[in-house]
Structure 1
Amino acid sequence: MSLSGSGSLLSRRNIKLDSFLKRSMGRAVHERVRASEPCVVVSDAFNKVYMHAVLSDERVYLTEHAPRTLTVAVSFGRVLGIELVNDLPEFLSGRDREHCQHIRILYVSDQPATRAFDWLRRDKWVGLPLAASPSRRSSHCPSITRTSEGGHPAERNHWRTEEVRVLKPSRSASCPNPETLGLLRVPHPPTQPPLYPPTSSSSPSERSLKPLQSDQVPRRIGSVLSRLLRRDLVEGGERREAELHLYAVSQTSRLYLHLQSAWSGFIIRSTLLLDPLYRRKCSSSSDSQRPVISWERTAHLFAQLTSELLQDGINEESLYLLLQELNVAAHRNVALRRLFWRSGELCVFLVQTLEECLHGRQSLSGVYSADQLLLSIVVVETLAVMFRETQAEASRLNLLSARKGALTSRILLALICDPLTQSRDFLMDSETQVLLSEYLDAACSLLFELLLLGHEATSGPVFTECLRSSRCFSADDLLSVDWLLRVVQPHPHLLSFITHQAQQVVLVLSDLQESVLCPVQAVLLFQRCRLLLACLQHSSLLAQHLRSDMREEFRYLVKTSCAAEKLPPRYPISGQTVREVELLLTLLR
């Protein structure tokens, strides 16, 4: 029985489902829905039920295939791991069985386990109540001062910080009889032909029934038996580990990639919010007393700020202060980030500013000035924040993929600089050295956001056997990770840039630095590990370079135990970062 369905909301909207979600969710929640995909659900509450999985920035929701009720399946704050399982589900048949992606989400639950006989007794499912959502160009570089006053318009006071400065480390679903295979009692769409012909050369019989050892998400340590014992011996109210299984039956499913991206974004934001400076940047003490700004008002203020930034003859100090205002406003207002991508003009301006400042106005010795680095930092940090929580904004993908990804290519090539240029013929003062280091941190964060885009924007089919080698898509896919790394490969400073990022990982995880990492440093470590993993998995040139130049440092100086010690358990990002370090060490051997 074929159950092949559509892909994400981004590419093919299910009008009926979208209308239901608008009625069921608040506007703020609905606007942050990333994807929706039909899949078979197996969990404590459901036994092989064909449903829609709806993914937002913070939760995974479930609704019937003909939507009537909506429930929260799991919040990302409770997730311990998301992994692919390499198996052939017995309850599916034909192509659905061969092309199915089995996604297992391990999470912490406060609810006692539902027994199998409860599934047989249940006549219908009533959705749980939905939680409420909180709802320049100039050839001369004058000195840029860090000041609290900068001539901002009065009507944008709510966007301002108390101090303008660079911040461095914010039907109800009736269950079928479990003896009935093929989901005969579950509503399903008619069979659809695959959009892409299968390319996997391996036969289904060659696949192991063990969980797939994904390069991106390693298998959790611990036996299946121990998990079952922990789950079944729960007493009332005791926390336990539970599993949500999603069987994506579309051959072109990207649900796994969307889940990974959404979870990464959630744990990054949750960790950053533990940092007082980041929290201050994302909110102010008087936010609770201010009325919610309407979309229309936000659009008006954004247009006003854009006009000021694009005016002719603006000096660099004014440009710097206006960009600081834009940066803070973007942290506090997701609507502004969506407007940023819809206009497009301001994004092009920022890229041009970075190109001119970092690469177009260097002195003859090739040395960056403090002012150039300051302006470059705020440009890169602003671009990075614009990527966050805007995955569902179609205009973002349209802008970045236009003209064969021309703007994305410009961002990549402008972003990379040589960390060693400053020290070859010129002794930097301490302030300039700090600013260069801060720029390289910001550049890594923006490159990380682009890699997330690469994982989500890829349009090729996903096959389990292809996932085994972590090269899921054709290298020719526009904006894919392979494409991104191929664009930067000719850059003359790429190897030194990547070496610097690897050296920072070694420094942080070696005994040379004994202090516990602050939230911002923990997030940066996670992003650097993801960047290095992408280089090892998707670029033979960069993989060879890292193994030849950094293998010994990682082998003798980096220890997984050290990573666990420096990453406090209270950081949401700690567990995943330790797993990334383990995988990085494995690939560098």
Structure 2
Amino acid sequence: MARTGSGALLSRRNVKLDSFLKRNTERAVYERIRAHEPCVVISETVNKVYMHVVLSDERVYLTEYPPRTLTEAFSFGRVREVELVNDLPDFLHGKNRELCQHIRITYVTDKPAVRGRDWLRRDKRAGLPAAAPPSRRTSHCPTITHTIEGLPVQRSLGELPASTPTRSASCPDPESLGLVRVIRPPSTAPTPAGSPTFPLSPTSPDTGQVPRGIGSVLSRLLKRDSSSGGEEREAELHLYAVSDTSRLYLHLQSSWSSFIIKSTLSLECSPSPDSCPGKQLPAISWERTAHLFGQLSCELLQEGISVESLYLLLQELRTAAQRSVALRRLFWRSSELFVFLVQTLEESLHSLNGGYTADQLLLSTLTVQTLAVMFRETEVEPSRLNLLAAKKGALASRMLLAMIICNADPQRSPVDCGALLSEYLDAACSLLFELLLLGHNASRCSPADNFLSVGWILGVLQPHPHMLSFVGYQVRQVVLVLSDPQDSSLSPLQSVLLFQRCRLLLACLQYNKQLAQHLRSHFREEFMYFVKLSCAEQKLPPHYPISQPTLQLIEQILSLHLHR
């Protein structure tokens, strides 16, 4: 999928769905939709239904096939795990069974468990929906087998069922989904200009507000939920993407990572909201954003710019990018500014062969922080991958090699540069984390893009003469944080850094033999005697969105590090 110059979402697979989303959501919500993809859905109340999964930067929605209502499944704040399941689903056959990607999402809900309830059984008297004409079938949809009251039924997932006056025949009543929020468009002819729509509220993430006209549905849902006493429990949503090129899992992982980082960092600046990286500015048009970005780019790229002016303009660019995903997408639409930042990093860090000044470290840190921000929530921007993949990753290689510096030990630096060097190494880890997310995405793309995989990224870095000292610094920071249970809880920023460092160390253990061997031979005792999961549980406050995913990473690292 791609976005036009005005920011509109275009799906190569289903323009009708995009049109539905654009008509029935507010612009602020629509522009935050990252991806949508058809797949088979299984949950506590839905059994093997072909639906569309719609991802925004905060929530997962489901809609029928074809779309009639948009229902929120859960927010990323409730997700506990997103994983690929290595199995061959028995309800698929032939090639579709082999190509299927099974995604299991574990999330927390306060809804009561539904037992022995299958919406398919409610159609017992009405019989099966009439099959659509062959011309309305989509070629990529498999055939699955349902069992209704013991009778096997063959049905193509791509067939559009005959419509009914009350709901789509391919999907249960939204209430029976057991989900939270429903957006129901008019069931009549296309909405005339000026007619009211039923938008989702972009400013009230968890209020459960819904359009007028379906209050009875919501009231029944809330009444049912309140009777459960509001106790939280874990539930699972299973998604089966029937394509070996599906990117649904990658979008889910990336969206979840971005959400927990952004929401955790927002806790850092609660006393001063204006300084918060995730703070949303008042909405401005795409055209106005493009104009302001163009002005700022021209000033940065002017000849003879002083270091002081460059630093101030980069600060302005970083702050604006933190608050505007539209600006971050614009950044990747031209190579000029990206090339300029990579070149600035190369010149700042390698002009004196390791003899860094405070000015150089300050400028390099800001440059790396700006690059890291530009990667966030922009994986749906096709120009980003095109730019990074050009000439077999030449620019990506330059950036990777430029960010690794020779002196990775702040304790051996001059007193006035030790703290600045630590700040740079923290920023470099955050940028490398974003690149590893890109690598995970590229690993499942077409074979032509596989050179941007995690293995390729670490393969570029591993021969660098100072990579081992860079990784060693990141390991020592993890050990330092997790070795003293008497220390106070980690701040939101410290928690995010711990999460990013753990993702880096886990990637080294899983994807590069040389780096993995170095970690096991040089830091085995540290992980054996000092890094304790119990200590991490004490240090990571449970109300931080990033705490539980970080604990899972630490557990994986300990398992890989100590048991091989």
Q: TM-score range by the shorter chain?
A: 0.7 to 0.9
Conserved 8 A contact 2:146-2:153? no
**Please, which of 368, 387, 399 is the counterpart of residue 356 of structure 2?**
368
Matches within 5 A, 1:468-507: 477-507=450-480
Pair 449,180 (structure 1): closer, same or farther in 2 beyond 3 Å: farther
Pair 475,118 (structure 1): closer, same or farther in 2 beyond 3 Å: closer
The amino acid that maps onto 2:437 is L
User: Is 1:281 aligned with 2:275?
Assistant: yes
User: What are the Cα deviations for residues 338-389 of structure 1, in whole angstroms up to 9, with x where unaligned?
Assistant: 11111321111111101000112x16xx320000000001100111111111
**Please, which of 442, 445, 448 is the counterpart of residue 430 of structure 2?**
445
Matches within 5 A, 1:156-555: 177-178=147-148, 179=150, 184=155, 186-188=157-159, 235=228, 237-276=230-269, 279-282=273-276, 292-360=283-351, 362=352, 366-420=354-408, 428-429=414-415, 431-460=416-445, 477-511=450-484, 514-555=487-528
State the match for 1:90 in structure 2: 90
User: Is 1:568 aligned with 2:548?
Assistant: no
User: What are the Cα deviations for residues 296-331 of structure 1, in whole angstroms up to 9, with x where unaligned?
Assistant: 211111111111111111110111111111111111
After superposing the two structures, state which structure 1 stretch, 576-585 or 75-84, moved more. Answer: 75-84
* Aligned-partner Cα distance in 1 for 2:2–2:27: 23
* Aligned-partner Cα distance in 2 for 1:381–1:541: 28
SS state of the match for residue 342, structure 1? Answer: coil
* Aligned-partner Cα distance in 2 for 1:94–1:7: 31
Aligned-pair distance for 1:421?
7.0
Conserved 8 A contact 1:100-1:251? yes
**Please, which of 522, 530, 547 is the counterpart of residue 557 of structure 1?**
530
User: Is 1:51 aligned with 2:63?
Assistant: no
After superposing the two structures, state which structure 1 stretch, 60-69 or 111-120, moved more. Answer: 111-120
Aligned-pair distance for 1:122?
4.5
* Aligned-partner Cα distance in 2 for 1:568–1:438: 23
After superposing the two structures, state which structure 1 stretch, 25-34 or 244-253, moved more. Answer: 25-34
Aligned-pair distance for 1:183?
5.6
How many residue pairs get aligned? The number is: 472
State the match for 2:196 in structure 1: none
User: Is 1:582 aligned with 2:555?
Assistant: yes
Pair 492,406 (structure 1): closer, same or farther in 2 beyond 3 Å: same
* Aligned-partner Cα distance in 1 for 2:560–2:295: 49
Aligned-pair distance for 1:63?
1.8
The amino acid that maps onto 2:287 is E
Pair 264,114 (structure 1): closer, same or farther in 2 beyond 3 Å: same
Conserved 8 A contact 1:62-1:70? yes
* Aligned-partner Cα distance in 2 for 1:182–1:387: 46
Conserved 8 A contact 2:485-2:539? no
The amino acid that maps onto 1:367 is G
Conserved 8 A contact 2:61-2:72? yes
SS state of the match for residue 120, structure 1? Answer: helix
Aligned-pair distance for 1:91?
2.0
State the match for 1:117 in structure 2: 117
State the match for 2:181 in structure 1: none
* Aligned-partner Cα distance in 1 for 2:487–2:152: 56
Aligned-pair distance for 1:294?
1.7
Aligned-pair distance for 1:177?
5.0
The amino acid that maps onto 1:90 is D
The amino acid that maps onto 1:517 is L
Aligned-pair distance for 1:270?
0.8
The amino acid that maps onto 2:45 is A
* Aligned-partner Cα distance in 2 for 1:294–1:57: 19
SS state of the match for residue 553, structure 1? Answer: helix
Pair 282,335 (structure 1): closer, same or farther in 2 beyond 3 Å: farther
Conserved 8 A contact 2:483-2:535? yes
Pair 11,441 (structure 1): closer, same or farther in 2 beyond 3 Å: farther
Aligned-pair distance for 1:511?
1.6
User: What are the Cα deviations for residues 432-452 of structure 1, in whole angstroms up to 9, with x where unaligned?
Assistant: 100000000000000000000
The amino acid that maps onto 1:335 is A
* Aligned-partner Cα distance in 1 for 2:409–2:556: 32
Pair 532,368 (structure 1): closer, same or farther in 2 beyond 3 Å: same
* Aligned-partner Cα distance in 2 for 1:423–1:177: 67
SS state of the match for residue 238, structure 1? Answer: coil
The amino acid that maps onto 1:69 is T
Superposed CA RMSD in Å reads: 3.0
The amino acid that maps onto 1:73 is A
Aligned-pair distance for 1:539?
0.6
Conserved 8 A contact 2:146-2:154? yes
SS state of the match for residue 38, structure 1? Answer: strand
Show structure 1 runs of 5+ residues with no match.
1-5, 125-174, 190-231, 462-473
* Aligned-partner Cα distance in 1 for 2:258–2:273: 16
SS state of the match for residue 47, structure 1? Answer: coil
Aligned-pair distance for 1:418?
2.4
Pair 301,92 (structure 1): closer, same or farther in 2 beyond 3 Å: same
State the match for 1:200 in structure 2: none
* Aligned-partner Cα distance in 1 for 2:23–2:278: 32
Aligned-pair distance for 1:528?
0.3
User: What are the Cα deviations for residues 462-493 of structure 1, in whole angstroms up to 9, with x where unaligned?
Assistant: xxxxxxxxxxxx79812111111111122111
Aligned-pair distance for 1:102?
2.2
Aligned-pair distance for 1:406?
1.2
Q: Structure 2 length normalisation: TM-score?
A: 0.77
After superposing the two structures, state which structure 1 stretch, 349-358 or 240-249, moved more. Answer: 240-249
* Aligned-partner Cα distance in 2 for 1:380–1:438: 11
SS state of the match for residue 452, structure 2? Answer: coil
* Aligned-partner Cα distance in 2 for 1:64–1:486: 43
* Aligned-partner Cα distance in 1 for 2:256–2:158: 30
User: What are the Cα deviations for residues 534-558 of structure 1, in whole angstroms up to 9, with x where unaligned?
Assistant: 1111111111111111111111110
Pair 400,443 (structure 1): closer, same or farther in 2 beyond 3 Å: same
* Aligned-partner Cα distance in 2 for 1:318–1:27: 36
Pair 248,332 (structure 1): closer, same or farther in 2 beyond 3 Å: same
* Aligned-partner Cα distance in 2 for 1:442–1:325: 17
SS state of the match for residue 372, structure 2? Answer: helix
Pair 531,180 (structure 1): closer, same or farther in 2 beyond 3 Å: farther
State the match for 1:158 in structure 2: none
* Aligned-partner Cα distance in 2 for 1:13–1:26: 22
Conserved 8 A contact 2:331-2:337? yes
* Aligned-partner Cα distance in 2 for 1:481–1:355: 22
* Aligned-partner Cα distance in 1 for 2:109–2:236: 9
